[in-house]
Amino acid sequence: MKILFKVTARLLAEVKDQLSRPHPFAAERVGFLLCRVGLLEGGGVAILSHSLHEVADEYYLDDPSVGAMMGPDAIRKALQASYNQQASMFHVHMHSHDGRPRFSHIDERETAKFVPDFWNVQPDLPHGAIVLSEDSACGKCWIPGLEAPVDISQFSVVGIPTRKL
Amino acid sequence: MKEVDRAGLNLDRQSFLGKTSAPILDNTQVAIVGLGGGGSHIAQQLGHLGVGEFVLIDPDIVEDTNLNRLVGATQQDVTKGSAKTSVAARVIVSVNPRARICVETTQWQKCGIALRSCDVIFGCVDSIGEREQLETVARRYLIPYIDIGMDVHRMNGEFFIGGQVALSVPEGPCLRCMGIIDDRALELEAQQYGAAGSRPQVVWPNGLLASLAVGSFVQLMTPWHTRLDLPVLVEFDGNAQTVSRSNKLLYLEGRPCPHFASLSSLGDPFWSARAVRKHVATTIS
């Protein structure tokens, strides 16, 4: 199944800026992209990102065993944003290297826990998680009614220039 | 829908566009909506450039009045009643046999889903209303939209040729920001205001505007150079033989487009995951 993730160049730059800011104690920052979705020919899905939902400093838990651990308020606020704006939500964080990033075991474990929670507020929308690197990205998309998440097959950065990651 | 895939195209002479330009272009899917005077030129040039995937949409067949400007069309196409999309596909495949081409001989609104996965949409449609609809689709699915328009006006007994190429990139100025679309123009068009009969069209302004549009496309997609102030609106004066960057946007510089800013202007207006599940179920069975 083709899953196409699109982000404007301006929004991607904003996301990277926000995620690169140092946090008082967490080693990295996380956020959520509010998205809308569209059906593609052949049953694929286009994920169209619109804006960044930031996780406030105080919503991180001090857990040195991971890069960043969100507290329950972080999830609650994100759920609220998804509900209020009828948005498909994609968790986003960044690995500071070039080349295609991968989900770590911790990323996989944690996203599998909280991403399906968004179906409590938007049951018919896909939700997911993406990992950015300096010049690439990877991601997973949870489609309602499908048991396992599907890998995002293509990332497009739309702007001048337009490019595929 | 037809697909074609055969041998390759040697692009050595355009390698200055960047060492990754050939695979980028081969991996780019372009829709051309309207394969008449403007669209046929664009199809031809994109074929030469090595663009890999095309969605060609036009409901019309070739008529004898098209032959003054429709690139690739022949008297035989008039006799046979060939579709304009077939002529464009033939032109593309004749230079790039590896091109993957989807042909839709219908109104684009009936096959709009085919546009959604495209990387760029070229709009070569006549009416302002259709332009607005097409740009709206492009914005919904975060697709850069390149619009070309040409007109011949009669004033004081003389004919004047004008035209423009507009590059509408999500979050940048849209056709309304550029003044190409406004409510009054839509209203007048709806009332079929103006001279009746077919619109005057000639080959060379179409070719020039198409070339400018393809130039914008190449700058948008390839690492040719790093200039980021690509003009979003270029105007052509066919009588003076001049092309210039429009000054219409001077006052909008740095201001985001307000017309497609909301979250609800993205994606399917009526999304349902049912269609995805149905497709997965069909694939598995």
Reading the block at residue B68, the tokens are 């003054």
User: Which chain A positions have a beta carbon within 8 Å of B275's beta carbon?
Assistant: 39, 43
Mean pLDDT of A27-37: 96
Number of domains into which chain A is organized: 1
Q: What's the mean pLDDT in A73-89?
A: 96
Average pLDDT score over residue span B176-205: 80
pLDDT at B186 over 70: yes
Q: Is the minimum CB–CB distance between B240 and chain A shorter than 8 Å?
A: no
Alpha carbon distance A32, B204 (integer Å): 50
Q: Is the pTM of this model over 0.80?
A: yes
Q: In terms of residue numbers, what domain contains A41?
A: 3-164
Nearest to B280 among A36, A43, A86 (CB): A43
Contact list in B for residue A45 (CB cut-off 8 A) is 276
Check CB contact of B117 with chain A, cutoff 8 Å.
yes
Model confidence band, residue B193 (pLDDT cutoffs 50, 70, 90): low
Long-range (24+ apart) CB contacts under 8 A made by A77-83 are A77/A53, A78/A32, A78/A53, A78/A118, A79/A117, A79/A118, A79/A120, A79/A121, A80/A121, A81/A32, A81/A34, A81/A53, A82/A34, A82/A118, A82/A121, A82/A122, A82/A125, A82/A127, A83/A121, A83/A122
Instruction: Tell me what percent of the residues of chain B surpass a pLDDT of 90.
Output: 73
> Tens digit of pLDDT for each residue in B29-38?
999 999 999 9
Instruction: Among B276, B277, B279, B280, pick the best mutation site for testing chain A contact (most A Cβ within 10 A).
Output: B276
Which residues 123-182 on chain B approach chain A with CB closer than 8 angstroms?
140-144, 167, 169-172
pLDDT band for position B3 (50/70/90)?
very low
pLDDT band at B185 (very low <50, low <70, confident <90, very high): confident
Which residues between 86 and 105 in chain A have a beta carbon less than 8 angstroms from any beta carbon of chain B? 86-87
Q: Please say whether the beta carbons of A49 and A5 come within 8 A.
A: yes
Give me the CATH number covering residue A87: 3.40.140
Higher pLDDT, B224 or B138: B138
Domains of chain B: 12-284 (3.40.50.720)
Question: How far, rounded to the nearest angstrom, does the alpha carbon of residue A122 sit from its chain's CA centroid?
Answer: 16
For B118, what's the count of Cα atoms within 13 Å in the CB-facing half-sphere?
Answer: 33
The pLDDT of residue B280: 78
